[in-house]
Amino acid sequence: MDNETPHDEAAVGGVAADRLRSIIERVERLEEERKALAGDIKDIFQEAKSAGFDVKVIRQIIRQRKQEPAEVEEQETLLDIYRRALGM
């Protein structure tokens, strides 16, 4: 048929166009927010660096704070063992 009705446009090939558009637009908005947040985080690290802090160490602390205490302790123990094995 050459004449498509609004209903046909909204569900082309069994796909609900409005729902699909909504999902895509939500993801796009969140990606923009993530980009803005990444810029803010970059600014904070630059501020820390300007204040004389070691950004690598700050990143490491942030990673460790996300882990369980037992996991951090295990990693630190292994690090110590490996250092001693290498004579460090």
Rounded to whole angstroms, how far apart are CA atoms 21 and 27? 10
Domain residue limits at 39? 1-52
C-beta separation of 17 from 11 below 8 A: yes
Is the overall model pTM greater than 0.85, yes or no? no
Which candidate, 21, 41, 44, places its Cα nearest to that of 33?
41
Residues 19 and 8 in one domain: yes
Looking at the fold, whether 61 and 86 belong to one and the same domain comes out as: yes
Q: Are 39 and 60 members of one domain?
A: no
Question: What are 9's two structure tokens?
Answer: 């446009």
Question: In this predicted structure, what is the pLDDT of residue 9?
Answer: 57
Q: Are residues 35 and 61 in the same domain?
A: no
String of b and e for 20-46 (b: at least 16 CB within 10 Å)? eeeeeeeeeeeeeeeeeeeeeeeeeee
Alpha carbons 43 and 51: distance in angstroms, whole number: 12
The pLDDT tens digits of the residues spanning 22-45 come to 999 999 999 999 999 999 999 999
Mean pLDDT in consecutive groups of 10 residues from the start of the chain, 88 residues: 53 83 97 98 98 97 94 95 96
